[in-house]
Structure 1
């Protein structure tokens, strides 16, 4: 699906953009006009379309790309002087013009020069690249030169893997787009801005946390700023495939159905979908909206499942355009309290993962990062991972496809965002659309999560129910979940109750519990009685405890490896006795940076609940969970 403000929106968006792009800019004290106008309305109480000129070009990573990764010149700009004047009005001659000072004798008034400024590596967060930016929250400018040769009859998009949190892009001084959201992929049409030969691109990225942001002001992870994932130029024909959805029919598990969307196509033009290995090809004609329905039954199709990944080359063609995919096919559904993959009950032995880079820290964004993190998950015995608390790099879901690991993917509607603010709902829907558009054809995706640990208020439930409905509109083939908080019941019976009203809108109930860490001792788990109000599958989305690698003591001494291992032992026994539990993803695989975790010598700006340290040291609890998973933990519960 193409989510766009440039006239390319297909039928499947159903007018979402009209609401999703009404984003507040009150925190900046002004409202931006449409991209490129240079005008400003200083009425802070109004709202405006902050995200402008962006699309999600599905399958962009499967198209030929010209990489823009590498060293970019950079300037930290805490007062955003490069974009706003002293009355906080947008400049018409800001730093996006990329002027250069020739030295004494050049009498122009310039107060910046990218060519004389230091560099930052892209992709990468600025926090771990420069000591002075470690705790920095604000604007940073990026600039680089590149050479481009225009091709007649082609359109060119700037593909941005992620930029946290708000970002602006100019090519040769012309504004091409702006975007809000720190973890989702987007694309900007730069065809009109490019020149044949030498070009330059300027980006401004501001990671300031906003009360009306998604996520909002409080998070338990590091607010890594910058161009945190890869950038590239992607060239397509004038008529090109903007989106597609190919999935297995649940009723037959042999029939593939879906659609292909083509921009600038004429009604009656053909699109093709083929699986060369199975000698299976189907053709379909687009309608007046560029939409073609796909339906065919390849012979001898083998299904993808956790632990048994089967991927096929899939070729999609439309006129002069072609995308060469690698896809698998499965079904996932629920029946009562069971989760079924390809019709068979499954117990999800998992682990939660933050997008923290192993060894070097910072935002995970390389293939080596993905291979390391998911390699540890496989070593642990996982058939499933929860990617918290935001969409991870696309290389992560591609790698999960290849390794045969089921994925829970989440948008950062996290903790207490402004659930009574319709603008915030529009932002969450935008991020949900971008997440699903990018990953709807990744066979590893099994669950879309719409929230984590949110307060059980009426406004919250209405907000998240709307997100659940939006998720099903975009993808009916996956399950909808959220990580819920639990509440105390009868304390004399040590009762815990799972009855959040949001559960009515979910296919699978996720629940976070921290018996033995935030309440009681590890042995307290032996006394717990659990009441689950829903006859639906339950995934224990979090449990765990904190301790640095190498800190040892007795099993009753907090912060030691022995304490956390003991906590895992008691929690595993407790959770195995809850009838509805069909999986778990303890918190979590690897230690990660968090500014709120400041205990000297124990945390030092790290959440230490990882089973592995950021330096790759496995803790005792890793072995406890590994032994449980390898011995078939949860099998009885999946029957």
Structure 2
């Protein structure tokens, strides 16, 4: 039988990258307990500069003489971003998938007595390992649990890049009948062939068997198996309303003895994506009220425990979400299990994000990560789609990019024909781009009113997409704005980082989705603030502040309660603006978020207003504040008599509180309007010349010619120290730079630059 032993304690860690540590003891290391990351502080904006490099973990493992005949495997939950495992100096396993579990067979290298287990973990930049570039911290470390698997010669396959060695597939055959397909592989590591059997039992929540079957096997080497059953009228896994799970028990029997077994939860459900009615869960339309989640947590980085994950799930359930996009990589298996248990539909994805590799044009690492994600998360009923790319066209959109995406889609469908394939596009991907025909579901990451355009443009863009692609199911895979809850304004503006602007932005998005049945819904970017080591924005270093909740999970921003009012069925009432305490205007609008039928609002115990309508937003206009403190109370009232209350204090002051205003760093006029030094009066048209350079060549190509490089630097020397620029030279062109807002390139400048480049011949 499989015996799983935690190996999270008694590790020694060092940042000193010495190859000798594969076998020689680390003498001056730091004792650590897993999960562990060396970027817990610098990866979220504190301490020293963000460290990326190779580090070592080491642990002793004592094996008794009588156990030497058993089979030992080391299971590493994840090593960010690359890991190598050594046993007594022998390299036994390697991972270049920084978010996936991997295993190492130890028994060929173990000896009786004391053994040295060493793991070299490296989060350095590697052009062949995804993600290459992204707006989040690439935490280094053994940041998930490590286990020792001890088993007999005969066991389920634990080395197929999957997790269980068993794969469950359910599908509806109509008339309330579901087919359950159980497949996998049994491995016999001994030289003796053994007659055995595979037994399957499906149990309901009370433990009663609803289906069972048996398959006789001759166990020699590797033995694949498949068993199919029919389940009539199962209780359906019906999302957050009824996340009912059965348990499948699959066991290997040899001579009346159980040699290995698995217990896997399985839910029976149908999911259909439509371009006019949205998502159909078990035949009924639902709107995706979703949030995105990164896995890091304030103060611990991504070295999170089950307790951290439980808290995240509690908050996601409280806000009323019915779906989660687990971005931008494979998450801890425990969190997928939480989603199964609580009924949240999951978009799971790989870190094929932002820019493709220039050293590996075939992107082999993306395919490896896709295989591990699908095989390891296959048995989670909550997952309804596999995401194969996120904004991969941010720097370049070419035929080669298209081919890679299509191959990833094909691979996903081969690995799992039972689920949909999705992608998340940057806004610059045209509605009629062929890329939108590759996947079953198209998501767009849309930030109208933050990075570009106006808030109202969100609805216009979605309408235009539906007119252009009426048969393509579409949703908004990201939307949000950076928000520091210390900042407030009566007149919220773009990039003022106030809670009030976040409310304005999200209110528009939620209404936009609700008014359009063809929009499947959206995923808030992000449920929680998260680490982004290179950021310095909104008064905080090292963090992306787009969360509904702060990175330490201690504060729910007002937008959290706005979403809750739209999504949750649990009665509540919330007064907005409680951190905007100092009010320098006498008349103030008071916003109340609630899903209750009726709301009463009091000022200093005097009834101001009573409103009906069931929310989600109630507003009392022009409330006159008295000098000093004013106590505001809201009561939410249900028809059956339930009354809930919320209170806050606002202070009427004579002058605006300067601490509520984000003071941005002054940029010189040269930086803001750097292009004014060039003559753009007679720009003309872009003309391409055969054999000559142009604005469509990559920066790397331009740098390969001294004259072309000089032209580039003439116009763009001021951006060359940007980390984004440094990692995108191999795929980014001047033309593509012009599509990115932060470069600030006026369209009329492009013909001017192109004219100079087209005078330079390429070497034949």
User: Which residue does the alignment assign to 2:284?
Assistant: 344
Q: In proportion to residue count, which structure has more strand?
A: 2
Q: How many residues align?
A: 533
Unaligned residue ranges in structure 2 (runs of 5+): 158-164, 254-258, 571-594, 596-764
- The equivalent position to 2:143 in structure 1, one of 201, 216, 228, is 228
Q: Secondary structure in 2 aligned to 1:313?
A: strand
TM-score (normalizing by structure 2)? 0.66
Which protein, 1 or 2, shows the higher relative CO under an 8 Å CA cutoff with sep ≥ 6? Answer: 1
Contact 2:23-2:116 within 8 A present in 1 as well: no
User: Which residue does the alignment assign to 1:148?
Assistant: 63
Q: Distance in 1 between matches of 2:434 and 2:359?
A: 17
Q: Secondary structure in 1 aligned to 2:140?
A: coil
Q: Secondary structure in 1 aligned to 2:237?
A: coil
Contact 2:155-2:186 within 8 A present in 1 as well: yes
Q: Secondary structure in 1 aligned to 2:551?
A: coil
- The equivalent position to 2:23 in structure 1, one of 87, 97, 116, is 97
Residues 419 and 512 of structure 1, relative CA distance in 2, 3 Å threshold: farther
User: Which residue does the alignment assign to 1:36?
Assistant: none
Instruction: Give a deviation string over 1:423-476, Cα, whole Å, max 9, x none.
Output: 52x211111111111110011111110110121321111101101110011111
User: Which residue does the alignment assign to 1:194?
Assistant: 110
Residues 134 and 203 of structure 1, relative CA distance in 2, 3 Å threshold: farther
How big is the shift at 1:228? 1.0
Q: Secondary structure in 2 aligned to 1:136?
A: coil
User: Which residue does the alignment assign to 1:374?
Assistant: 313
How big is the shift at 1:422? 4.2
User: Which residue does the alignment assign to 2:229?
Assistant: 296
User: Which residue does the alignment assign to 1:245?
Assistant: 167
Contact 2:349-2:389 within 8 A present in 1 as well: yes
Contact 1:248-1:331 within 8 A present in 2 as well: no
User: Which residue does the alignment assign to 2:544?
Assistant: 607
Q: Distance in 2 between matches of 1:348 and 1:526?
A: 16
Contact 1:546-1:608 within 8 A present in 2 as well: yes
- The equivalent position to 2:212 in structure 1, one of 281, 304, 308, is 281
User: Which residue does the alignment assign to 1:14?
Assistant: none
Q: Distance in 1 between matches of 2:401 and 2:342?
A: 36
In the TM superposition, 1:38-187 aligns within 5 A as 64-77=3-16, 80=17, 82-83=18-19, 94-99=20-25, 114-128=26-40, 135-149=50-64, 151=67, 154-187=70-103
Contact 1:247-1:329 within 8 A present in 2 as well: no
In the TM superposition, 1:441-460 aligns within 5 A as 441-455=379-393, 456-460=397-401
Q: Distance in 2 between matches of 1:423 and 1:457?
A: 14
Contact 2:264-2:379 within 8 A present in 1 as well: no
Q: Distance in 1 between matches of 2:413 and 2:403?
A: 16
Contact 1:259-1:291 within 8 A present in 2 as well: yes
Residues 300 and 140 of structure 1, relative CA distance in 2, 3 Å threshold: same
Contact 1:278-1:301 within 8 A present in 2 as well: no
Residues 618 and 290 of structure 1, relative CA distance in 2, 3 Å threshold: same
User: Which residue does the alignment assign to 1:486?
Assistant: 427
How big is the shift at 1:340? 2.7
Q: Which moved more, 1:274-283 or 1:225-234?
A: 274-283
Unaligned residue ranges in structure 1 (runs of 5+): 1-61, 84-93, 100-113, 489-496, 634-639
Instruction: Give a deviation string over 1:182-241, Cα, whole Å, max 9, x none.
Output: 10011111112223333221111111012222111x211011101111111101221211
In the TM superposition, 1:427-446 aligns within 5 A as 427-446=365-384
User: Which residue does the alignment assign to 1:213?
Assistant: 129
Q: Secondary structure in 1 aligned to 2:511?
A: helix
Instruction: Give a deviation string over 1:528-578, Cα, whole Å, max 9, x none.
Output: 553233313212110111111232113423210001110111222233344
User: Which residue does the alignment assign to 2:486?
Assistant: 550
Q: Distance in 2 between matches of 1:204 and 1:520?
A: 46
How big is the shift at 1:97? 1.7
User: Which residue does the alignment assign to 1:491?
Assistant: none
Higher gyration radius (CA):
2
Q: Distance in 2 between matches of 1:448 and 1:579?
A: 23
